[in-house]
Amino acid sequence: MNFDLTDEQDLLQETVRQYASNVCTPTRRRAIFDGDDGHDTELWRGLLELGLGAIAVPDEFGGAGLELLDLALAAEVLGAEAVPGPFLGHSFAGLAILHAGSDAQKKTWLPKLASGEVLGTVAFAEGDGRWQPEDWTLARGATLTGVKAHVPFGAHAGLFVVGTRGGGFALCERGASGLVVEPLPGIDRTRRIASLALENTACDVMPGGPESASRVRDAALVLLAADAFGGAAKLLELSVEYAKTRQQFGVTIGSFQGLKHQLATMAVEVEPARGLYWYAAYAFDHVPSEAQRSAALAKAHLTQVYMQIARDAVEAHGGIGFTWECDVQIYFKRAMFDRAFLGAPAAHRERAAALAGW
């Protein structure tokens, strides 16, 4: 019975945290956030050199062969530091190929994704909240024709994992005929999104069906939940720091019971919830019967908590919290991304209810 991290896992988180705080300084993050392109290739290269593209890729394909929990631990730290970049979409693409790809597809793509030679992403959404494999309608054939929305770093990716009708996948490469990417004015400027239009675009269909798609979804939900936990925990910390620094009426405002209770309430929302994503990640690799439901629960709960904590954090920072220059808004918008991407909390709660047989 051990529900805690290993020393190696602590070290993994510490390494990513060190890199993020040394390299992704608030100034640099701000420049990326305010910039037009939104992708700092040098920063991304550094994360890949730390091995962040390779964590959950098996050894035989050039990865570290670790588990979803390890990948999620990295996602938590990137969430906490609000690191801009394509980590999530790239990880989802790797997971999709790992779980739904043929041996040849794995051999071709996983080493390139692990090293970052190719930037991968996923094209799942079809608009109006249709994110789930069961919702996909894009027909699968020798070529693909259709439109996908909200593709993370679609404007930068070299490889697209496209969700197809009935929970299948096909691979398309950048530059293929009929493939058009249009950047969208995404609210979260640390994770840019684009729409993807395909017209008779050549593709490589993956053999995996709905069961693989379900696994990919579970893994992706866990990573979003981990990102959300990291962000929420950091916002709590930032709000507490602000309350200890800011002075009014001759005392630090954190001594006032009104604010103190708000911060305590935030802490009680955030801290006990860490185990939700830990457990869901653990279940993904070790308790198959609970994997789907615990992933849905973790995503629904943690992204909702993150959104509320982001609102609370703005309030705790007072007027400055409402400004563009305050970094709280960066987290606020990441919370909006985590909440909506792959389906809103209500959708996953309904799934969780159905999965329990309710």
Partner 1 sequence: MDLSYSAEYEAFRAEVAKFLAASWPLSGKEAELPGDQKASVFRGRAIEVGYLARSVPKRYGGSEQPADVLKAQIIREEFFRARAPGELGGIGPSMLVPTLLEKGAEWQKDKFIGPTIRGEIVWCQGYSEPGSGSDLASLQTRAELVGGEWVINGQKIWTSGAHVADYMFCLCRTEREAPKHAGISYLLLSMKQPGIEVRPLRQMTGAADFNEVFFSDARTPADWIVGKRGEGWIVSRTTLKHERNMIGDAANTVMMFEGLVALAKRSLRDGRPALDDPGIRQRLVALEGYVRSHQYSGYRQLTKAAKAQEPGRIGLMNKLVSTNLGQEMAKLALDLVGDDGLLEPRERRLGAPRENGQWIGQFMWSLGSAVAGGTANIQRNVIGERGLGLPRDAAAQRS
Q: In terms of Cα–Cα distance, which of 162, 78, 167 is closest to 120?
A: 162
315 near partner 1, judged by CB under 8 A = no
In eight-state DSSP terms, residue 64 is -
The stretch among 104-112, 239-247, 306-314, 327-335 that binds partner 1 (CB under 8 A) is 239-247
Count residues contacting partner 1 (CB under 8 A)?
46
Q: Least Å distance between CB 302 and partner 1?
A: 8
Tokens of 182: 């249009």
Q: Which is nearer to partner 1, 96 or 300 (CB)?
A: 300
Minimum CB separation from partner 1 for residue 233, in Å?
12
Q: For residue 13, give the amino acid letter.
A: Q
CA distances from 294 to 6, 56, 281, 297 (A): 22, 19, 9, 5
Beta 204-205 vs 168-173: how paired, if at all? Answer: antiparallel
Cβ proximity to partner 1: between 105 and 294 the closer is 294
What six digits make up the tokens of 161?
């994992």
Q: Which of 236, 146, 244, 259 is CA-nearest to residue 200?
A: 146
Q: Which of residues 242-301 bind partner 1 (CB under 8 A)?
A: 243-244, 251-252, 254-257, 260-261, 263-265, 267-268, 271-276, 278-279, 282, 286-287, 294, 297, 300-301
Q: Cβ 278 to partner 1, closest distance in Å?
A: 7
| 8 A C-beta contact, residue 6 and residue 69 | no
* Shortest Cβ 297–partner 1 spacing (Å): 6
Q: How far is the CB of 1 from partner 1 (least distance, A)?
A: 5
Of 69 and 198, which CB lies nearer to partner 1 in the complex structure? 69
Looking at residues 337 to 356 of the shown chain, list those that interact with partner 1 (rule: CB under 8 A).
Answer: 345-346, 349-350, 352-353
Q: What amino acid is encoded at 292 in this protein?
A: Q
Largest CA distance in the chain: 71
Name the 3-class secondary structure at 251. strand
The DSSP 8-state label assigned to residue 140 in this structure reads P
Q: Give the pair of three-digit tokens for residue 85.
A: 């970049």
Among 55, 69, 90, 197, binds partner 1 (CB under 8 A): 69
**Facing residues of 202 across strands?**
143
Neighbours of 255 (CB within 10 A): 12
Question: Rounded to the nearest whole angstrom, what is the least distance from the CB of residue 7 to partner 1 in the complex?
Answer: 12
Nearer to partner 1, 112 or 351 (CB): 351
Sign of CA dihedral 144, 145, 148, 152: positive
Q: Which listed range, 37-45, 94-102, 238-246, 316-324, lies at the site for partner 1 (CB under 8 A)? A: 238-246
Q: What's the min distance (Å) between Cβ of 106 and partner 1?
A: 26
Name the site residues for partner 1 (rule: CB under 8 A).
Answer: 1-6, 69, 240, 243-244, 251-252, 254-257, 260-261, 263-265, 267-268, 271-276, 278-279, 282, 286-287, 294, 297, 300-301, 304, 345-346, 349-350, 352-353, 358
